[in-house]
Amino acid sequence: MLESGLKFQKAVKKLGERDTEYALMQGGIPRNLDWDNEKHFMKFLKIFHDVNKSVSGSLLVTFSQYFHEFCKILRVFKASCGSRDPLLGSMAERMKLKYDKYWGNIKNINMMIFVAVVIHPRYKLKFVNFSFEKLYDKDDADFLGKKVKETFSKMFECYVNANNWGRFFTSATMDCASDVGVPDDNMAGDFFKEVHFHEIINKNEVDLYLMDGLEKSCDQNTFDILNW
């Protein structure tokens, strides 16, 4: 409606000049200030329109993309709630109250929104923590970062248990520890055996994945995660 109305700004002005009855109707014809406000609101609301279209209006949206839209909305609220424009600021604050009803309690946020980003090799936990630091205060950012990593690790544990890999993983690490190749009658040999064994035990696939560097790609739209 706002976008359509702006196209008729000149027509409405001329109609007000030629039609006295229209010009004297309740509220009067839009003033220049009204048109300026309309432009500001259209730009502001278009962000939410685009987010809604991206998340709800497409059959091809990926779960990892949801987090980017989540961040965009929070950044808009942070910038707009403190706006010098009292009209825009008050509107943003009322919208933020609606948002907080569903997303305000960080302890109840679905962690899968963030885990989906951690699984993406271009972002991982580094991007998630970076975003938390920009959007929340330190305590909340630390809490969310820790909870996301715990959730991700628990998911991996369930995956291992479901596939009955625990026994295989333990036996494999024992075999590796015994193949270090250092004489058993040497104190240093015993030391290296134990260190090597614990290093393998403590580094599961989750740790190795998170420690590895981020996958580099110029455009996220051209990155083929299945090929990766």
29 neighbors 12 (Cβ within 8 angstroms): yes
Is 145 in the same domain as 192? no
pLDDT band per the 50, 70, 90 thresholds, residue 149: very high
Please name which of 36, 9, 225, 49 lies closest in space to residue 124, comparing C-alpha atoms: 225
182 neighbors 189 (Cβ within 8 angstroms): yes
DSSP string, 30-44: PPHHHHHHHHHHHHH
Which amino acid would we find at residue 154? K
Is 44 in the same domain as 130? yes
- pLDDT confidence of residue 219: 66
Tell me what the mean pLDDT of segment 206-223 comes to: 78
Is 225 inside any structural domain? Answer: no
pLDDT band per the 50, 70, 90 thresholds, residue 151: very high
What residues make up the domain containing 179? 164-213
Is 184 in the same domain as 76? no
Please name which of 123, 172, 168 lies closest in space to residue 148, comparing C-alpha atoms: 123
Look at 149 and 171; give whichever has higher pLDDT.
149
Reported as a single tens digit per residue, the pLDDT across 88-111 is 888 899 999 988 888 888 888 889
Residue 87 is classified by DSSP as: H
- pLDDT confidence of residue 152: 93
Please name which of 203, 211, 209, 208 lies closest in space to residue 173, comparing C-alpha atoms: 203
Is 222 inside any structural domain? Answer: no
- pLDDT confidence of residue 114: 93
- pLDDT confidence of residue 172: 52
Q: How far apart are CA 87 and CA 102, in angstroms?
A: 24
* pLDDT beyond 60 at 176: no
* pLDDT beyond 60 at 202: no
Q: How far apart are CA 131 and CA 125, in angstroms?
A: 10
Of the given ranges (8-17, 32-41, 44-53, 190-199), which has the lowest mean pLDDT? 190-199
Is 91 in the same domain as 121? yes
Is 174 in the same domain as 130? no
Is 221 inside any structural domain? Answer: no
- pLDDT confidence of residue 211: 86
* pLDDT beyond 60 at 201: no
Is 196 in the same domain as 116? no
- pLDDT confidence of residue 133: 93
Is 62 in the same domain as 131? yes
- Count how many domains the chain has: 2
Residues 6+ apart with CB under 8 A from 99: 73, 77
- Mean predicted lDDT score pLDDT of the chain: 81
Is 26 in the same domain as 60? yes
Is 124 in the same domain as 193? no
DSSP string, 119-156: TSTTTHHHHHHHHHHHHS-HHHHHHHHHHHHHHHHHHH
Is 197 in the same domain as 135? no
* H or E stretch at 68: helix 63-80
- pLDDT confidence of residue 59: 67
89 neighbors 80 (Cβ within 8 angstroms): yes
Is 226 inside any structural domain? Answer: no
94 neighbors 76 (Cβ within 8 angstroms): no
pLDDT band per the 50, 70, 90 thresholds, residue 184: low
Q: How far apart are CA 129 and CA 148, in angstroms?
A: 9
- pLDDT confidence of residue 141: 94
Is 137 in the same domain as 198? no
Look at 113 and 223; give whichever has higher pLDDT.
113
Is 38 inside any structural domain? Answer: yes
- pLDDT confidence of residue 165: 55
